[in-house]
């Protein structure tokens, strides 16, 4: 017999911690069987059964009936088995109740361990589910550890650990323990014993979510973000569009006197952001994509899916950008190969159509 409070506690756990009682009892029975065998240093097949309605726990040992016994803990001879029940035959399994008088103590210890493990598992499952719902969203986090290959953060308010690999970090940023930062929840992995949350500040979607947070027209859908390309820490180009001709997509993102875009730039520690009005016409879109430079002409070769953008000579370095960055991002944004040339080269021949 075991104290009825033991089983009453199981009922309480089911109500308050949402532990499935039947699943928990099955886990507890397995744990108790293992504890009994360890306590008694035996290898016998043992089964523990809980009977909540009777406030009882019973232990059974099982042996297989054989012609010749090689392992007394697991086998019993046919001759001895027939003394128990004449109808037994080789291959049958017989059971014997072996519940010890002090089993309540073992049960209480084991139950405590199983309960704590189950509660830990449930907490992990709940946090995992919560973080799954936040996948692709921006969350607040505190930097807890900085290593050469990764930055470890505590995600608020779940207190779950997030990992930001080098590839997900902004190269121009320095992270210090205790810093409060915003991060994008990229994905949740379960390859290890506990779920791991991979977070990012370098992914283009981090910028997308910032615009959704700071620009009401983007959040509501009045302004659509068609595409974002980014070299984190240096420059982002974002193409926006509004179906309603009365809505200024670019102006909405920039805000009065740059108030909205400045908040985002500040969060990105000075990263340059070019907000470009998306256009279905590739000639026009390419011309806009080379911003902040102004295109004089755009020539395209449809067969090669390439474009030559002509700019005034004094705009050439601005159009190309540092180490070709501006032209490179414009090409990614438009998905056209772009070659930037100065106006002085306009007399050169160009293979392809002209726009």
pLDDT at 326 exceeding the cut of 90: yes
pLDDT at 352: 45
Domain shared by 252 and 296, yes or no:
no
Asked whether residue 94 falls in the same domain as residue 116, the answer is yes
- Residue that has been written with the tokens 């070709």 in this structure: 324
Confidence label for 353 from pLDDT (cuts 50, 70 and 90): very low
Q: Please check whether residues 119 and 9 belong to one and the same domain.
A: yes
- Residue by residue, DSSP assigns 84-148 as H-TT--TT-EEEEE---TTHHHHHHHHHHHHHHHHHHHHHHHHHHHHHHHTTTSEEEEEEEEE-S
Which of these three, 278, 296, 331, is where a domain ends? 278
Among the listed ranges 7-21, 91-105, 133-147, which one has the minimum average pLDDT value?
7-21
How far apart are alpha carbons 308 and 298 in whole angstroms?
A: 6
Mean of pLDDT values over 30-45: 82
Under 8 Å between Cβ of 75 and 94: no
- Domain of residue 143 covers 139-199
If one compares 166 and 354, the residue with the highest pLDDT of the two is 166
Q: Are residues 306 and 265 in the same domain?
A: no
List the CATH number of the domain containing 345: 3.30.300.20
Instruction: Check whether residue 189 and residue 222 sit in a common domain.
Output: no
**78 has a pLDDT exceeding 60:** yes
pLDDT value, residue 2: 54
CA distances, 345 to each of 64, 127, 293, 314, 348 (Å): 94, 61, 17, 13, 6
| Burial of 151 (C-beta count, 10 Å sphere; 0-12/13-18/19+) | buried
Q: 282-289 and 325-334 helices cross at what angle (nearest 10)?
A: 150
- Confidence category of residue 347, pLDDT binned at 50, 70, 90: low
Pair 45, 83 in one domain = yes
CATH code (residue 185): 2.40.50.140
Q: In angstroms, rounded to a whole number, what is the distance separating the alpha carbons of residues 81 and 92?
A: 9
Domain boundary among 77, 107, 131: 131
pLDDT in tens, 291-309: 999 999 999 999 999 999 9
User: Do both 179 and 272 map to the same domain?
Assistant: no
Domain with 89 in it: what CATH number? 3.30.1480.10
State whether 160 and 125 are in the same domain. Answer: no
Question: Which comes out higher in pLDDT, residue 349 or 206?
Answer: 206
The pLDDT tens digits of the residues spanning 215-271 come to: 999 999 999 999 999 999 999 999 999 999 999 999 999 999 999 999 999 999 999
| Range with the poorest average pLDDT among 95-109, 147-161, 189-203, 308-322 | 95-109
Q: What is the DSSP letter of 309?
A: E
Is residue 110 classed exposed, middle or buried when 0-12, 13-18 and 19+ CB atoms within 10 A define those classes?
buried
Q: What is the pLDDT of residue 112?
A: 73
For residues 73 and 34, what is the distance between their CA atoms, to the nearest angstrom?
A: 15
Return the pLDDT at 273: 97
Question: What percent of the chain is helix, strand and coil (3-state, nearest 5)?
Answer: 40, 30, 30
In terms of domains, do 165 and 80 share one?
Answer: no
Shared-domain flag, residues 183 and 236: no
Q: Are residues 8 and 117 part of one domain?
A: yes
Region 127-136: what's the mean pLDDT?
79
Closest C-alpha among 287, 292, 283 to residue 314: 292
Higher pLDDT, 67 or 24: 67
Mean pLDDT of the chain: 87
106 and 150, same domain (yes or no)? no
> What CA dihedral angle connects 33, 39, 42 and 47, to 10 degrees?
-10
pLDDT of residue 350: 45
Provide the domain count of the chain.
Answer: 4
């Amino acid at each position: 017999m075991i104290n009825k409070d033991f089983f009453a506690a199981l009922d309480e756990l089911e109500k308050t911690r949402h532990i499935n009682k039947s699943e928990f009892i099955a886990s507890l029975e397995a744990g108790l069987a293992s504890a009994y065998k360890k306590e008694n240093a035996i290898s016998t097949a043992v089964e523990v059964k809980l009977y909540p309605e009777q406030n009882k726990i019973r232990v059974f040992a099982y042996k297989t009936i054989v012609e010749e016994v090689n392992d007394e803990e697991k086998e019993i001879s046919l001759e001895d088995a027939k003394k128990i029940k004449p109808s037994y035959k080789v291959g049958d399994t017989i059971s014997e109740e072996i519940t010890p008088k002090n089993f309540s103590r073992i049960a209480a210890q084991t139950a405590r361990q199983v309960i704590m493990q189950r509660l830990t598992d449930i907490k992990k499952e709940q946090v995992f589910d919560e973080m799954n719902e936040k996948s692709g969203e921006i969350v607040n986090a505190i930097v807890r550890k900085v290593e050469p290959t990764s930055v470890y953060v505590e995600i608020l308010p779940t207190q779950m650990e997030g990992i930001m690999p080098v590839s997900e970090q902004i190269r121009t940023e320095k992270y210090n323990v205790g810093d409060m930062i915003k991060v994008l929840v990229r994905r949740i992995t379960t390859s290890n014993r506990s779920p791991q949350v991979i977070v990012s500040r370098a992914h283009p979607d981090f910028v997308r979510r910032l615009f959704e947070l700071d620009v009401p027209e983007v959040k509501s859908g009045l302004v659509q973000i068609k595409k974002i390309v980014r070299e984190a820490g240096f420059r982002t180009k974002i193409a926006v569009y509004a179906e309603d001709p009365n809505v200024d997509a670019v102006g909405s993102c920039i805000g009065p006197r740059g108030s909205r875009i400045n908040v985002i730039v500040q969060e990105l520690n000075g990263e340059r952001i070019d907000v470009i009005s998306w256009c279905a016409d590739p000639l026009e879109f390419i011309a806009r994509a080379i911003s902040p430079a102004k295109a004089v002409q755009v020539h395209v070769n449809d067969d090669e899916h390439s474009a030559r953008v002509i700019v005034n000579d004094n705009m050439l370095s601005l159009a190309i950008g540092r180490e070709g960055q501006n032209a490179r991002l414009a090409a990614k944004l438009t998905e056209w190969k772009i070659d930037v040339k100065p106006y002085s080269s306009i007399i050169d021949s160009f293979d392809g159509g002209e726009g």
